A and B are shown apart, each in its own frame.
Chain A
């Protein structure tokens, strides 16, 4: 089946620093990747849609200058949380579409900003 690898699985950073999260499709080419944010006991909230070779499409209310998304190849998309603040602490999950198995999710990244 399709596999999506997401790293790191958890990260703690100081307020004001930037954090990069990677999402890789290991055995298929993902023309489209999605980035989600999830708060405890809540469903996934779509942040942005990332298309290979073009600018990401952000959902309403998501700051594109704060959450930088790059989809430079068919197997890699990155989310950079810039100038992180404690309110950015959350569970971030990527998914990749376009495989024969539907949408496959990464294992998620737990970000804690102190």
Chain B
């Protein structure tokens, strides 16, 4: 079993839809949880950074962490074609330790 599981997609949605991206993990010691967006041939761009359980909102993006279920989510409201990218979840034990990545979910938002 992988430490971090993420559905690779692809996920195709119409413009304006609410997108839900998820990851599950097996190690309860993870404390820091991140979501990255990666466009083709570019480095990952940090979208959300959360510590422990709870919700965090930033514009159209909401990140949720449920440590009891070992489950994290990223919601994108009013999705736009420019949101089309690969979304990677990542987590670590502390804020200087190496990141453990999910495989990434490829999202396609069509007009």
Contacts and interface: CB of A to CB of B under 8 A. Distances in A.
A103 B35 CA distance: 11
Task: Summarize A's interface: helix, strand, loop or mixed.
Answer: strand
A104 interface: yes
Contact of A44 (B41, B88, B106): B88
B34 A49 contact: no
Contacts of B97: 97
Given A49-B98, A101-B46, A103-B46, A108 B41 contact: yes
Given A32-B96, A102-B32, A104-B46, A91 B101 contact: no
A42 B38 CA distance: 11
Given A43-B88, A101-B49, A108 B99 contact: no
Interface residues of A, number: 24
Contacts of B99: 34, 46, 95, 103
A95 B99 CA distance: 10
Most-contacted residue by chain A among B42, B43, B88, B97 (CB, 10 A): B43
A64 interface: no
Interface in B66-111: 88, 90, 92, 95-99, 101-104, 106
Nearest to A38: B38
Interface of B: 32, 34, 36, 41-46, 49, 88, 90, 92, 95-99, 101-104, 106
Interface of A: 6, 31-32, 34, 41-44, 46, 49, 91, 93, 95, 97-98, 101-108, 110
Q: Which 9 A-B pairs have the closest CB atoms?
A: A102-B49, A105-B43, A108-B43, A107-B43, A105-B44, A43-B103, A97-B96, A32-B96, A43-B104
